Chain A
Amino acid sequence: MALQSGKKLPMFIGHIWSKQKSRWTLLGLRLLAFLAAAAATLVMVLNKQTKTFVVATIGTTPVNLTLTAKFHHTPAFVFFAIANGLVSIHNLVMIMVDLLGSKFDYKGFRFPMIASLDMLNLALVSGGANAAAFMAELGKNGNSHARWDKICDKFGAYCDRGAGALIASFLALALMLLISFLSILNHKLVNSSSHNSHNNIIALPN
């Protein structure tokens, strides 16, 4: 089949990638991305560890200091939690729209809207995941030049849970990259050129 750009695809791609199969693949990927982002948010928000240190000994009684490591002490982790929360909401809304909202289409505006929102949320989750990753690296290795000690040897469980949340977020990032790419490819492959002529109506004013 021919794309509207004039290029012809090999015929076997049209046979493998039918419309129904692609729709369910995308839906499954979106569900996975939603679960990964939601898991990252939950693990990060519920991340907390309390530990008691003995800082001095006066006579025979030790002086204790209780420290709690919570995620909201670090703004990068707050941003991480908010970004992943927003991304999971976005994926949930996209799943709902895909399942229930096949009638919502304003002059062919649906596909550019979905593609743009996908890309914007991809940028959001990449920002959140990366900021948290570098903060976690600082917590794990410290910074000898700034005299910042590492904290992961003291708050091991906090660090481990944070690492789990980070892994889930990077998984959501990879899945969203795949989803954006596949959704655009799917739209170009499956729709005929007569459908794409509707897109000309929605040209932004130049």
Chain B
Amino acid sequence: MAETKRIFTFLLRFIAFCTTLSAVIIMISSRQRATVLVFSFEAKYSDTPAFKYFVIVNAIVSIYGFLVLFLPSKSLLWRLVVALDAVFTILLTSSISAALAIAYVGEKGNPIAGWLPICDQVTKYCNQVKGALIVGFISVVLYMLLFLYSLHTVLNPLLLEKS
């Protein structure tokens, strides 16, 4: 019973690490050169601070996820993992919501502010950013599950005691 639980959480953490890493990679590699009228410009992820924040937060969380994978199961650092899970889950939700807000403006525009949507000019960039956001959303869901599971193990001391 404890063995299957350990394998399941390890698998979940591994998948969560993979999703955050791929969100970073997809977002970083999204760039497209477009020509509008006479001048050409390049759309990169680093134009927008929200996407930069998304990349930074997902990079930090993937490093954390990678390190936690190697934690031996009897170590006392699991209590710290519980607290860090909380912090990183909250960071992830904030990063995905910020990136989603800016991506929505990029897709639909904001007529009152006079902001035109840019997605029809740089379609490939837009689609890649959408893909990165979808993967980021999956990672948020997975980290929420992991965090709720850690919370459950903390509040039910039977699982943390060495038995």
A residues near B (Cβ < 8 Å) are: 4-5, 67-70, 73-76, 79, 111-112, 115-116, 119, 122-124, 126-135, 137-139, 143, 145-149, 151, 180, 196, 199-200, 202-204, 206
Contacts of B49 in A (CB 8 A): 134, 137
Contacts of B100 in A (CB 8 A): 131
- CA gap between A162 and B163 in the complex, in Å: 53
Report 12 cross-chain contacts, Cβ distance below 8 Å, ordered by A residue. Answer: A70-B112, A73-B111, A119-B86, A119-B147, A126-B90, A128-B97, A146-B43, A147-B116, A149-B115, A199-B157, A200-B157, A204-B156
Are A145's CB and B41's CB within 8 A? yes
Are B93's CB and A127's CB within 8 A? yes
- Measured CB to CB, the nearest residue on chain B to A144 is B47
B98 located at the interface, meaning its Cβ lies under 8 Å from any Cβ of chain A in the complex: yes
Task: Please report whether the interface of chain B is mostly helix, strand, loop or mixed according to DSSP.
Answer: helix
- Chain B nearest CB: distance from A78 CB in Å? 10
What 1/0 mask marks residues of chain B from 77 to 95 whose CB sits below 8 Å from any chain A CB? 0000000001001110111
Are A73's CB and B97's CB within 8 A? no
Task: Please report whether the interface of chain A is mostly helix, strand, loop or mixed according to DSSP.
Answer: helix
- Measured CB to CB, the nearest residue on chain B to A147 is B116
- CA gap between A82 and B156 in the complex, in Å: 33
Contacts of A69 in B (CB 8 A): 112-113
- CA gap between A65 and B156 in the complex, in Å: 62
B residues near A (Cβ < 8 Å) are: 1, 5, 41, 43, 47-50, 53, 86, 89-91, 93-98, 100-102, 104-106, 110-116, 118, 144, 147-148, 151-152, 155-161
Contacts of B144 in A (CB 8 A): 123
Are B110's CB and A133's CB within 8 A? no
Contacts of B113 in A (CB 8 A): 69, 73, 139, 148-149, 151
- A116-B148, A199-B157 known; A75 and B93 CB under 8 Å? no
